[in-house]
Amino acid sequence: MKILTTVKNVVDVELNIHVENGAIVEEGLQYVINAWDESAVETAVQLKENNNAETTLVSVGGGEDNTKMIRRGYAMGIESGIQIDDAALAEGDSFVYAKVLQKVYEKGDYDLVITGKQAQDTDNGQTGIILAEYLGLPCVSNVIAIEVIDDQHIKVSRLGDAGTEIVELELPAVVTVDVSINEPRLPQMRSIMMAKKKPIDVMDLAALGTSHDEIGGATLKSEVVEFMAPEKREGGQKFEGDAAEITAQVVGLLANEAKVL
């Protein structure tokens, strides 16, 4: 079984994100692997370890952060990595990325695509599903367990509205996984050192056999118009002391200051 896993580099949402003039301030930000994609990688590696799957990882985007992310995938146990690095990809949305991934899929001979169900930067949750649509493959989203039945079939559990749904799928297929599917391993020194030596297959759009126009880069279906910082919440007021006094005080404030009574 050949598995393609997609990984996205996202801003570390543990950090304070500042907005100035409708744009995010880049200074001081750091980028990390999307948590859902990290789970996707772990899923792929476990399938490699337990079911002899072959694993490939793809990252769309250039730069050192993306390279580091692929190396992290290697250190976790992924066997080969593809980096799509093209200046034309600076602007894009889920449709564009899904199109690029479609091209990557078509260049290989994959049985299963595993993506994170969403990314913590935009929280769109679209790319994997659109990719399945482009490829005409069955897709199960929000997957929390995968079991291999045979070379052609897998059984997955997904978190549905009413509870856990168990779905049998014929391969090839696309699944998007939830973070609860596993606890991604933390690569240790030995794996990290070995990962440093592995080659990465870096391609631009031309090498991938496509173009800015074909992937829809020139006619984006959605665009970010402006970033706005959420309004800061004022700190609440704490009342301590005698219950009767406090009640009177609070009622007074609600009536006179908040004017809700």
**Interface positions with another protein (CB under 8 A):** 12, 14-16, 28, 30, 32, 183, 185-186, 188-193
Q: Are 57 and 195 in contact (CB under 8 A)?
A: no
Q: Are 187 and 70 in contact (CB under 8 A)?
A: no
Q: Which residues pair with 175 in a beta bridge?
A: 114, 140
Q: Closest CB to another protein among 10 and 215? A: 10
Residue with tokens 């907005």: 19
Structure tokens, 97: 């990325």
Q: How far is the CB of 245 from another protein (least distance, A)?
A: 22
Q: How far is the CB of 124 from another protein (least distance, A)?
A: 23
Q: How far is the CB of 193 from another protein (least distance, A)?
A: 7
Q: Closest CB to another protein among 48 and 107? A: 48
Q: How far is the CB of 196 from another protein (least distance, A)?
A: 11
Q: CA-CA-CA-CA torsion for 132, 137, 142, 145, nearest 10 degrees?
A: -140
Q: Closest CB to another protein among 30 and 52? A: 30
Q: Closest CB to another protein among 11 and 58? A: 11
Beta strands at 173-177 and 112-116: parallel, antiparallel or unpaired = parallel
Q: Closest CB to another protein among 190 and 259? A: 190
User: 240 vs 244, 247, 249, 258, CA distance in Å?
Assistant: 11, 10, 11, 20
Q: How far is the CB of 236 from another protein (least distance, A)?
A: 16
Q: Closest CB to another protein among 15 and 250? A: 15
Q: How far is the CB of 221 from another protein (least distance, A)?
A: 32
Judged on CB neighbours under 10 Å (0-12, 13-18, 19+), 248 is exposed
Taking alpha carbons only, the member of 125, 120, 44 closest to residue 77 is 44
Please tell me the distance from the alpha carbon of residue 150 to that of residue 53, in angstroms, as a whole number: 12
